[in-house]
Amino acid sequence: MKKLFVLFIVFAFVSCQSGSKKQATESIEVIKVVEATVNIGGMHCDMCVASIEKGIKELEGITLVTVSLGDSTAIVKFDASKADLTKIEKAIEKRGYSIKEDI
C-alpha cells in the first residue's frame, strides 16, 4: 500500500511539472510606426474631412488619422511594413482631392 501511495505522489509530481515546460517558440513582431503629414487640396467642409479620414482608415496598417480642415492637412500614423505614403496619397486622390507640395 505504501508503494502505491509513493507511486501516486511521483506520478502527480511528474504530471504537474510537464505542463510548466512550455517551449519558447513564440516570435516577437516588431513594427515600425511612422508619422507623416500630408497637405491636401480641395477640402471645403466637414464632409470632406470625414471622407478623407474614411478613405485613409480603410488602408491596412493605419493606426491614427487626424484631418484638419483649418490647415488642409492629414496627420497619419501607420505601420511602415503594411502601408506607405504613396498608398495614403492615392487613397486621398481616389476620393477626389489633390496632394499639395510641402509648404
Q: Residue 61: left (phi > 0), alpha (psi -120 to 50), or beta?
A: left
Mean pLDDT of 68-81: 96
**Tens digits of residue pLDDT in 22-71:** 555 677 877 789 999 999 999 999 999 999 999 999 999 999 999 999 99
Where would I find the H helices in the chain?
2-18, 46-57, 85-94
Name the pLDDT band for 83 (thresholds 50, 70, 90): very high
pLDDT in the model for residue 97: 97
Domains identified in the chain and CATH numbers: 33-100 (3.30.70.100)
The answer to whether the beta carbons of residues 61 and 13 sit under 8 Å apart is no
d(CA 87, CA 90): 5
